[in-house]
Chains A and B, each alone.
Chain A
Amino acid sequence: NAGVMQNPRHLVRRRGQEARLRCSPMKGHSHVYWYRQLPEEGLKFMVYLQKENIIDESGMPKERFSAEFPKEGPSILRIQQVVRGDSAAYFCASHYQGNTEAFFGQGTRLTVV
């Protein structure tokens, strides 16, 4: 059973471009979190998703950011028109229904140049 898989591991985008970050949860996991981490800081919650449903998006910036977790396929975090301040490591974590023990992927490091 592979762990949580995130890709790409590193992503470089120019200002104004779009960034798409993918997260494949562990097999059987129905819930996904997305977090952002700036250097030397803790993880900041962004969004909490169940398949085809957004449970909590209170940590998502109001503009340019969106997330989905379709019935089939990975969860996607999409950042439109990226700015330098979006540069960070983005982590996803998944867990089973009814069990909040969450397992993390290795993260995607986004650099906006």
Chain B
Amino acid sequence: SQQGEEDPQALSIQEGENATMNCSYKTSINNLQWYRQNSGRGLVHLILIRSNEREKHSGRLRVTLDTSKKSSSLLITASRAADTASYFCATSYRSARQLTFGSGTQLTVLP
């Protein structure tokens, strides 16, 4: 399976703490994207990192990509209750045209 897999499946932290989610994948990618989904809503695009990039920042988000380990991590700093959502990684593989999603990490930020 080429499907990316997020780890952990669920994460619960206190407001103000940092949250780290990981994503592993199987074969060579063009890029990797992170999305957020609030319960019952659509997906919001957070950040895209290309295969030749190692780190990218956007506000309180930091994404890293290690192509040798075929893994990516999403760090949310100074978390807020509003960050409570499911987070998905999606990979664009060189061998396929589709965007492949993992099963997600459910993040709960407690006030």
Please say whether chains A and B are actual partners in one complex: yes
Q: What does DSSP make chain B's interface, helix, strand, loop or mixed?
A: strand
Q: A105 vs B43: C-alpha distance in the bound complex, in angstroms?
A: 7
B103 within 8 A of A: yes
Please determine whether B99 and A45 come into contact, CB atoms closer than 8 angstroms.
yes
Identify which of residues 73-111 in chain B touch chain A, using a CB-to-CB cut-off of 8 Å.
Answer: 88, 90, 92, 96-104
Q: A91 vs B42: C-alpha distance in the bound complex, in angstroms?
A: 7
Q: A55 vs B90: C-alpha distance in the bound complex, in angstroms?
A: 18
Size of B's binding interface in residues, CB under 8 A:
22
Please determine whether A42 and B88 come into contact, CB atoms closer than 8 angstroms.
yes
Interface string of A86-113 (1 = CB under 8 A from B): 0000010100000011111111000000
Size of A's binding interface in residues, CB under 8 A:
22
Q: What does DSSP make chain A's interface, helix, strand, loop or mixed?
A: strand
Please determine whether B98 and A58 come into contact, CB atoms closer than 8 angstroms.
yes
Q: A91-B42, A100-B30 are in contact. Are A42 and B35 (CB under 8 A)?
A: no
Q: How far is the CB of A113 from chain B (nearest CB, A)?
A: 19
Please determine whether A93 and B99 come into contact, CB atoms closer than 8 angstroms.
yes
Which residue numbers of B lie inside 8 Å of A, CB to CB? Answer: 30-31, 33, 35, 41-45, 48, 88, 90, 92, 96-104
